[in-house]
Amino acid sequence: MIIALFLRQRKIWVKGWRMGIEKAVIVAEPSGTLLEALRDFLAGNDLNVIHARTQKETLLTLQRQRVHAMVLDADLLEEDCEFISLIKGMQENLPIIVCAEVNSPEFEIGIRQKGIFYYHIKSFGIGDLEMAISNAILKVSHDLGGPSYGHR
- The pLDDT, as a whole number, for residue 5 is 40
Q: In this structure, is residue 16 part of a structural domain?
A: no
Report the CATH number at residue 57.
3.40.50.2300
Regions of the chain with pLDDT less than 70: 1-21, 142-152
Question: Tell me, what DSSP letter sits at residue 124?
Answer: G
pLDDT in tens, 53-97: 999 999 999 999 989 999 999 999 987 799 999 999 999 999 999
- The pLDDT, as a whole number, for residue 152 is 35
Domain that includes residue 54, residue range: 21-144
Q: In this structure, is residue 151 part of a structural domain?
A: no
Strands (E) across the chain are located at 4-8, 11-15, 24-28, 48-52, 69-73, 96-100, 118-121
Q: In this structure, is residue 127 part of a structural domain?
A: yes
Q: In this structure, is residue 43 part of a structural domain?
A: yes
Amino acid letter, residue 33: T
Q: In this structure, is residue 6 part of a structural domain?
A: no
Q: In this structure, is residue 41 part of a structural domain?
A: yes
Q: In this structure, is residue 103 part of a structural domain?
A: yes
Kindly give the pairing relationship between strand 69-73 and strand 96-100: parallel
145: left (phi over 0), alpha (psi -120 to 50) or beta: left
Q: In this structure, is residue 10 part of a structural domain?
A: no
Counting the structural domains of the chain, the total is 1
- The pLDDT, as a whole number, for residue 15 is 38
Q: Which has the closest alpha carbon to 134: 115, 112, 151, 117? A: 117
